[in-house]
Structure 1
Amino acid sequence: MFVFFLSLTEALQKFSVQSTSDTLMVQPNLAVQSASVSEANSRGVQFSLIDPKSFMASRIHFNPNASQLTTNSSGAVQIFIQFPSGQSHKTTNTSVGFVLYQNDKLFRSKVFISELHTNRIVISGQLSGKIIPNHVEISFKPEKVLNASLRNFACVFWNYTLRDWSSYGCSGKKNSLGHLQCQCNHTTNFVVLMSFRMNYAYVDVLNTITIVGCCISIIGLSLTIIYQIMTRKSRKTKPTLLLVSICMSLLMFYVLFIFGITNKESTEENSKNSNEIPTSDLDIPQDSCCCTVFTVFLQYFLLATFTWTTIYSIQLFLLLKCTFNQLHRYFTAIVTVTGWGFPAIVVAITLGATYRVDNPLGYRQEEFCWLAALDREKMFDIRKPMLWGFLFPVALMLSFNTGILVYFTVTQCRTNPDLKSTQKTPILKKFLSSLSLAVVLSITWVIGYLHLVEENYVLAIIFCLLTTTQGFQIFIFFTVRTSAFRKHVRNILHSVFTLIPMHHQKYNLQLHRKTRPKATYKNVDSNISSTA
């Protein structure tokens, strides 16, 4: 069948130059123009199509006396053939023929695959006999693809020997009107093969919230880590280890997120002029490993954060359930290996199953250095690593953490009747304890799952606001609220104000019965009194 199609296109090409009279035959998907032109009175001919969606005689124009390619801003495709500059063919008329195909279904390529289901107009230009033109110029109006922009293109012709597209003898560039202009040194069936990159849109408000929230969280987490390490001798070792590990993994995630979440290579313009044939109409960037490395570390540290929060909730459950406060002596070693090892295993499995050097988008996204989630139709794909490499394990850990939070809240709300009224915990303190636990267990990420079920702009803002400021919330609840931290801050402020000289003085006036009034003053800073 394919050979039959090629024979059909060759027959149409020969038929277009065999007619001795000027004729135009138009069908819904095909148009054939034949003409006889005197080379003595013409430098070249031009054939144009105005509307690619409708093949009508009124929308097809033929100019038998053209000196150069004239590009119409509304024209879908124009082809100009310049006659040879020599005089050997100037004595007789020359037959020219053009064939216009609305698509390239008759030309089945192996080197170029249409994955976006785009359409390509094929145009054929031919001169009778063995006349070789000076050059052939073709102008194609780029096709508009929804949510995509043109990344690369190649000017090619159909090579009947190779039975595929070839770029030999052709070159291409963009003209001032934005059309793709090709120049070749021979006549045959021409087409421009275009590849596109998908466009991604996101709300600027969310971008601002993310940047500001991550910055203040980085500051808060850094202060929390420093405070926890400096005061580790005055607190239990295990809670310090767990909280510091949570803060460290979350801090690394925020830093990597700010500097590496956007793939700068996807926004760079293509400056290649090699007229290299693209393999598909969907441009897949070559992986330089930079964005993939960021994706690996982002996935690892975010999974590590949830792993450590789950370990934190397990320890809390054991302490609440058991009558003793001491855990197993190997607890620290076990949780250390689990906290940093489990996310490494998940990342290794995800990377090994989905990443390929020639197709990095199987593992990560193009616009952002994060796990791939959508297919080419922008639909959530369960085969992508976003589901089983992140959402599923995090959902299990969030469900467990939520259960522990409920258990902790119920336990806190119970009132022992044997306790005196002065020994009862205030309701506000109970609420703050539950709230601080919800923060450290990353319960706010549940909102993200609700947003996946039903996309909502309000939910997106709330989720972005709470998750990006999680580090700062940990700083408030686990550092600022502690009496030791407030004491350290008071001592530091006192030391600072002590070093600053105070110039004001305090005067005391005393009246004596037998002596004249005396005035005394006291220096506040030095605590020295003198009498005036």
Structure 2
Amino acid sequence: MELKWTLLVFLLLGLFLHISGSRGCSPGYKASKSGCDDEDECVDNICGNHSECINTNGSYYCNCKEGFRSTNTPNFTQSTGQCIDINECTENAECPMGMVCVNNIGSHSCECKHGYRESRGDSNCADIDECKHQSGLCGSHADCENHPGSYSCKCHHGYSNYGNNQSKCIEITCNQFEAETQNTPEKLKSLLSLLMKSCESLRDPDGGRHLGEALLENLFTSVDELLSEGNLADSDTLSQFLGAVENSMRLIGPQLKEPVTRMETHNTYAEVAVKHGETPPTGSVILRTDSAHFNTSWETAAGDSYPGFAFAALVSYKDLNTSSDYFSGIGKISQEDESRERSDTKKGKITYQLNSRVVTAIISNPETKQLTDPVTLIFKHVEERAESKVMNYSCVYWNETQGAWSGQGCVKAWSSNTHTACSCSHLSSFAVLMALYPIKDTFALVLITRVGLVLSLICLLLCILTFRFCRSIQGTRNSIHLHLSVCLFIADLVFLCGISSTHNRGACAFVAGLLHFFFLAAFCWMLLEGVQLYRMVVLVFQTTLKHLYMYAVGYGVPLIIVIISAVAYPQGYGTERHCWLSLEGDFIWSFFAPVCIIILLNSFCFIITVWKLAEKFSSLNPDLSKLRMIKGFTVTAVAQLCVLGGMWVFGCFLFQEEGTQVMLYLFTILNSLQGALIFFMHCILSKTVREEYYKLIGRVCSQKEKKYSEFSTNQSSNSQHPLRTDQSTRESKI
């Protein structure tokens, strides 16, 4: 046991002495059995690959190789740090005339400039004749001219390399800049003339040269003037315009010097990317304007026959589709596309509207009718609207041959309420077309409308007879009810008989005009009803309105509105589906705006009237049950609100996408039964009118009883007395 403890003590003592000895050596030394020995730092290649490590007692130093210097002592070759290359070309190296210095790792060399090579037997550089050593360098449509250190291609007449003198020459045709028709606008003729001159200068090898940027600016200045005048009113002119822009960008794009050129004017926004070089460029190219993104590749832009340059351009027209006149008669898709539309809309007219700005996408590749790799266009919607059952988006391009928007070769990749992405296998002018599908009139809706209108006409006829011949209720309010019933009766009758008379354009417009006038007149009389209620309840002592004022408001105001609307936009009366006001150009607001104003005014009068009536009834009947009072007021208020036109509020929701069917049924039911509501409100619920009805029924019944009594009496006397005959006439008498 003691032996074990003794060994353990000796081991600990040895370890302590070893540690004490190591700590006692100076830096650069290490402990050994004999004491402290020098440590060789060069074993770990501490100086790097470009220097020689030399060990010393307790230290070391790095001796930099020729062509290198130390990083921490730039003026010496010996240090303890790494060594870096010396760029002799920027310091003291000299090369013979005609040669350039090329730095290498640890050295330098003198080489001939590009286009030169070393002569045999000396260190001088001789020019390389590229035209002699590289056959077909300029192609078959140009003459190759050698220059010291370089060369140039001089194109034959009718060919051009667009100012890139070391590119192959391609044929230039300028006939596409000729005006196609005599009706071409002057501004468009001026633009075509400018482009023709630029094209002809390219065809002439000795002709002048124009900077691409200047041509681009002139192009868009002319486009601004053309679009500002709004001369693109037919498909032929639009085709010429879009074709001219596309051809001019093919002319201007190769002449641009900057890799990316952007230009924005009042009506246009353009971005052009250009690359020049001996080898075709690769990679993707993305162009952006304020309304669209264009994504393609340089391989697609260059094509199979690379002429020494490649470009891609995207042009957006800001105001081309802001006016409906630009697309009057041409904002449609071609017949073959229309035949592929949904089968549930065969009987309805589908309307189309552009919901993006028109853009033109161009690349230098002349073969763009069928691209191997489709390009992607992402459009920003002018109106933020998501697809639904009654609307969807289509990717279309302008087909110059057909003069119409066509969807051939373009597929919608995805769509949201703000953007639509299109994948197209060809290039042209593109846009996003919004197809609006009509809501089909179901049998149930037509049946509800017809039954409700017939019932309403019967009730309105009874109202007219009651208000006209019932003497006990004559007064200002009764006159208002009479004229309101007359206007609604005529409007409902015209609606029932003529709303579908679309086969005759003139008759349809006349029906729409009658409906516009009489419905507006009905609303004006509803306004007078609300004003009269307000005067009766709030202004107790002012319960009458002058008939002249009532006629001026009831018939004069709607007549003025209809006259102004007919003069301003006569095409707004009558549509292809119904003889009503057109939804184009916000023409519907000639009816809807006055209706909204009247509903708001009537709502104000209604709230004040109900409030005042509630105060009076509560003071007159303090013991009346609150439940009965609330029930009575609720029924009366709802009925009166319908009479004042409150149900037309549901018509506001018909322009919304969600809930259209529900609102359509509510609107149809309530408005087709408005006549029945008026009869119930002002005839059935009126005690005075009911008494008159009782008297009338009593008189009718008494007359029937009297006739029956006389008939029975005569029959009885005839049975008791024989028939007497007049001998002279031989006629029987009772």
TM-score normalised to the size of structure 1?
0.51
**What corresponds to 1:261 in structure 2?**
499
Query: 1:465 is matched with which residue: 647, 666, 669?
Result: 669
What is residue 475 of structure 1 aligned with on the other side?
Answer: 679
The AA in structure 1 aligned to 2:450 is I
CA distance in 2, matches of 1:471, 1:191: 52
Contact preservation (8 Å) 1:363, 1:385: no
Corresponding position of 1:224: 463
1:311 to 522, 528, 538: 528
SS in 2 for 1:366: coil
Q: Is it true that 1:439 corresponds to 2:642 in the alignment?
A: yes
Contact 1:224 1:479 (8 Å CA) reproduced: yes
How big is the shift at 1:434? 2.1
Is the 8 Å Cα contact of residues 372 and 386 (structure 1) preserved in structure 2?
A: yes
The 1:390/1:6 distance shift into structure 2, 3 A limit, reads same
Describe the shift of the 1:346–1:365 C-alpha distance in structure 2 as closer, same or farther (beyond 3 A).
same
* 1:352 match: secondary structure: helix
Q: Secondary structure at the match of 1:298?
A: helix
1:315-394 aligned within 5 A: 315-327=532-544, 331-355=546-570, 360=571, 362-374=572-584, 383-387=585-589, 389-394=590-595
In the TM superposition, 1:19-168 aligns within 5 A as 114-118=330-334, 143-145=339-341, 147=345
Match of 1:289 in 2: 506
| Shift of residue 260, structure 1, vs aligned partner | 0.9
Q: Which residue of 1 aligns with 2:3?
A: none
- 2:237 alignment counterpart: none
Q: Which amino acid aligns with 2:485?
A: C
- Indicate the SS of the match to 2:588: helix
User: Counterpart of 2:473?
Assistant: 235
Q: Does 1:411 align with 2:612?
A: yes
Q: CA deviation at 1:323?
A: 3.9
Q: Aligned pair 1:212/2:429, yes or no?
A: no
Matched residues, percent identical?
20
Asked if structure 1 preserves the Cα contact closer than 8 Å seen for 2:463 and 2:679, the reply is yes
- Post-superposition shift, 1:476? 1.0
Matches within 5 A, 1:167-178: none
Tell me the distance in 2 between the aligned counterparts of 1:321 and 1:471: 27
User: Does the aligned pair in 2 maintain the 1:294–1:369 contact within 8 Å?
Assistant: yes
CA, structure 1 residues 302+3, in 2 after alignment: closer, same or farther (shift >3 Å)? farther
TM-score by length of 2: 0.38
Determine the C-alpha separation between the residues in 2 that align with 1:253 and 1:415.
37
The change in CA–CA distance for 1:6 and 1:224 in structure 2 (over 3 A counts) is: same
Q: Which amino acid aligns with 1:449?
A: C
Name the amino acid aligned to 1:230.
F
Q: Which runs of 5+ in 1 are unaligned?
A: 8-111, 121-140, 152-189, 266-286, 375-382, 503-524, 526-532
The C-alpha deviation readout for 1:258-314, integer Å capped at 9, x for no partner, is 01111341xxxxxxxxxxxxxxxxxxxxx7410000000101111111111111111
Q: Using a 3 Å threshold, how does the CA distance of structure 1 residues 145 and 2 change in structure 2: closer, same or farther?
A: farther
Provide Cα deviations, 1:201-222, integer angstroms capped at 9, x if missing partner: 2222111111111111011011
- Please tell me whether the aligned partners of residues 220 and 471 of structure 1 are also in contact (alpha carbons under 8 angstroms): yes
With over 3 angstroms needed to count, the CA separation of the structure-2 counterparts of 1:429 and 1:2, relative to structure 1, is farther
Deviation at 1:462, TM superposition (A): 1.6
Q: In the superposition, relative to structure 1, how do residues 216 and 235 fare at CA in structure 2: closer, same or farther (>3 Å)?
A: same
Aligned residue identity for 2:575? Q
Distance in 2 between residues matched to 1:475 and 1:469, nearest whole Å: 10
Counterpart Cα distance in 1 of 2:335 and 2:655: 34
Change (3 A) 1:240 1:418: closer
Query: 1:149 deviation in Å?
Result: 7.1
- Alpha-carbon distance in 2 for matches of 1:443, 1:259: 25
1:149-189 CA-partner distances (Å, limit 9, x unpaired): 799xxxxxxxxxxxxxxxxxxxxxxxxxxxxxxxxxxxxxx
CA distance in 2, matches of 1:500, 1:421: 47
Q: Is the 8 A contact 1:363 1:371 kept in 2?
A: yes
Change (3 A) 1:192 1:351: closer
Give the superposition deviation at 1:494. Answer: 3.7
**1:34-83 Cα shifts (integer Å, max 9, x gaps):** xxxxxxxxxxxxxxxxxxxxxxxxxxxxxxxxxxxxxxxxxxxxxxxxxx
The equivalent of 1:184 in structure 2 is none
Q: CA deviation at 1:340?
A: 0.1
Out of 626, 631, 653, the residue aligned to residue 450 of structure 1 is: 653
1:431 maps to a residue whose letter is: T
Deviations 1:444-490 (A, max 9, x none): 11122234344332222122111110001101111122223333333
Question: Contact 2:484/2:522 (CA < 8 Å) preserved in 1?
Answer: yes
Unpaired runs of 5+ in structure 2?
1-172, 180-327, 350-400, 406-435, 707-712, 714-734
Number of the residue aligned with 1:247: 485
Q: Which has the higher mean CA deviation after the structures are superposed, 433-442 or 213-222?
A: 433-442
Map Cα deviations across residues 485-520 of structure 1 (whole Å, 9 max, x no partner).
333333344445445569xxxxxxxxxxxxxxxxxx
Distance 1:353 1:368 in 2: 21
Aligned equivalents of 1:150, 1:244: Cα separation in 2: 39
Once the two structures are superposed, residues 87-106 of structure 1 have per-residue CA deviations (whole angstroms, 9 ceiling, x without a partner) of xxxxxxxxxxxxxxxxxxxx
For the residues of structure 1 that align with 2:495 and 2:560, how far apart are their CA atoms? 21
CA offset digits 1:213-264 (Å, max 9, x no partner):
1111011011001111111x32342111111111111111100100111134
Contact 2:516–2:591, Cα closer than 8 Å, also in 1: yes
In structure 2, the residue matched to 1:92 is none
**Counterpart Cα distance in 1 of 2:178 and 2:346:** 32
Instruction: Say if 1:481 and 1:293 are closer, same or farther in 2 by CA, change over 3 A.
Output: same
Whole-angstrom distance in 2 between the partners of 1:456 and 1:149? 20
Give the stretch that moved more between structures: 253-262 or 408-417: 408-417
Per the TM alignment, residue 117 of structure 1 is displaced from its structure 2 partner at its CA by 2.8
Aligned residues of 2:654 and 2:664 also touching (Cα < 8 A): yes
3-state SS of the aligned residue for 1:478? helix
Per-residue CA distance 1:103-140 (angstroms, 9 max, x = gap): xxxxxxxxx963303167xxxxxxxxxxxxxxxxxxxx
- The answer on whether the counterparts of 1:306 and 1:442 sit within 8 Å (CA) in structure 2 is yes
Higher relative contact order (CA 8 A, sep 6+): 1
Answer whether contact 1:304 1:340 (CA < 8 A) is retained.
yes
Kindly report the root-mean-square deviation, in angstroms, between the aligned alpha carbons of the 2 structures: 4.5
Question: Which of 688, 702, 715 is equivalent to 1:484?
Answer: 688
Partner Cα distance (1:490, 1:447) in 2: 38
- Other-structure match for 2:600: 399
